[in-house]
Amino acid sequence: MLVELFEPRDKAGTVRVTYNDVELVSYGFLAGSPPRFSFGTPNKTGVAKVFLVVDGVETLVGEGNYTWEDGVLVSSSEKLYPQESIISVKKRIKQLQTEQRAAMRIVRSLAETLKKQLNKAVHPLISAGAVSTILETVETASSAVATMCERVGNDPEKMEEAKLIAFLGSREGEELARSRDQMRKKLTRAIESWDDDRAVGRAQVEAYHPSSLTIRDRSMSFEFTALLRQAEALDHTLSALLDSNSIQFWFDADGTYNFVGQAQE
């Protein structure tokens, strides 16, 4: 059996292991080093329990089940007891919403800054229209996802599965999903075409337009890439919001709408 604690501990202590509630082995460790040790378990069916002892306080951190038949180990399994409870989904969704709003602010200001620059100087590869399209795309997708999450209550632990499925199967659910999907595809196309053009395009800009564009104007290529990356990051956060709300949908090649839980409808 291998016992390994990934986090180094703040205080020194002992790891104690029992087998069928009989003391088997114990191992002392120092502060700052993650405890890790292995040993052989008895050749008989039983349950090994691992306790962490720090300052006389004993916590059950894991257990292992071993099944022996005719002197052969036929199966073994481990179980870990999480020591800290994980943040609730509801709270995590709140965090994600804050991250999404912050990302939206950045995308919006980046787009505005770029448009102001484009009013003054012409960039051979970027148009103000392209910048507006990206901003619009991200805004539409954001509002579609926000509406979907709002409809299912932003708290999957309280949401009834039947209600969730009914919403996703409804006309409104499908329309919102479709709008988010189309916007995402549009954004992906913009990113891909820019990334393909970028290497060639930048080289051309630098080679053939050096006098018409100052270095300061050439910074726009980088700003535009930053805008696209930030928009993509925001799109991933939208997906995280949907997943946190237990919403998952996809479209077939012919445009047929599918969602998780569809069969139960």
Partner 1 sequence: MNVKQHQQRMRSLYNMQVALFDRTFANILAEFKSVTVAVGFLRQAETLDVAAKKQSAAFLRMLALAEALPKTATSDDANRSQAFIDAMHDSDVGEALSDWFDARRKAEHAIWDMEINHALSAAVALGDKARANPEDKELREYADAMSWRFGACQYQIHALCRQAEAIAEMEQAMLRSHGLKIWQGRKQYLRWEGDNANRLQVAS
Question: Which residues of this chain interact with partner 1, rule CB under 8 A?
Answer: 6-7, 77, 79-80, 82-87, 89, 92, 95-96, 98-99, 102-103, 105-106, 109-110, 113, 116-117, 156, 214-216, 218-220, 222-223, 225-227, 229-230, 232-234, 236-237, 239-241, 243-244, 246, 248
Q: What is the phi/psi pair of residue 127, to 5°?
A: -115, 155
Cβ atoms 12, 31 nearer than 8 A = yes
Residue whose entry in the numeric block shows the structure tokens 């050749």: 43
Tell me the closest approach of the beta carbon of residue 65 to partner 1, in angstroms: 9
Q: Residue 182 has what DSSP assignment?
A: H
Tell me the closest approach of the beta carbon of residue 129 to partner 1, in angstroms: 20
Identity of the residue, 53 or 226, whose beta carbon is nearer to partner 1 in the bound complex: 226
Identity of the residue, 7 or 10, whose beta carbon is nearer to partner 1 in the bound complex: 7
Identity of the residue, 11 or 236, whose beta carbon is nearer to partner 1 in the bound complex: 236
Tell me the closest approach of the beta carbon of residue 254 to partner 1, in angstroms: 26
Annotate 153-169 with b (16+ C-beta within 10 A) or e (fewer).
bbbbeebeeeebbebbe
Tell me the closest approach of the beta carbon of residue 184 to partner 1, in angstroms: 12
Helix (H) or strand (E) holding 77: strand 72-80
The H-assigned helical ranges of the chain are: 89-120, 128-151, 161-169, 171-208, 215-244
What sign results for the dihedral spanned by CA atoms 119, 121, 122, 124?
negative
Identity of the residue, 19 or 194, whose beta carbon is nearer to partner 1 in the bound complex: 194
Identity of the residue, 72 or 215, whose beta carbon is nearer to partner 1 in the bound complex: 215
Cβ atoms 173, 257 nearer than 8 A = no
Tell me the closest approach of the beta carbon of residue 79 to partner 1, in angstroms: 7
Q: Residue 11 has what DSSP assignment?
A: S
Identity of the residue, 71 or 82, whose beta carbon is nearer to partner 1 in the bound complex: 82
If you compute the radius of gyration of the chain from its CA atoms, what whole number of angstroms results?
A: 28
Distance CA 235, CA 96 (A): 12
Tell me the closest approach of the beta carbon of residue 240 to partner 1, in angstroms: 4
Identity of the residue, 119 or 253, whose beta carbon is nearer to partner 1 in the bound complex: 119
Task: Return the closest-CA partner of residue 251 out of 161, 173, 191, 182.
Answer: 182
Tell me the closest approach of the beta carbon of residue 42 to partner 1, in angstroms: 21
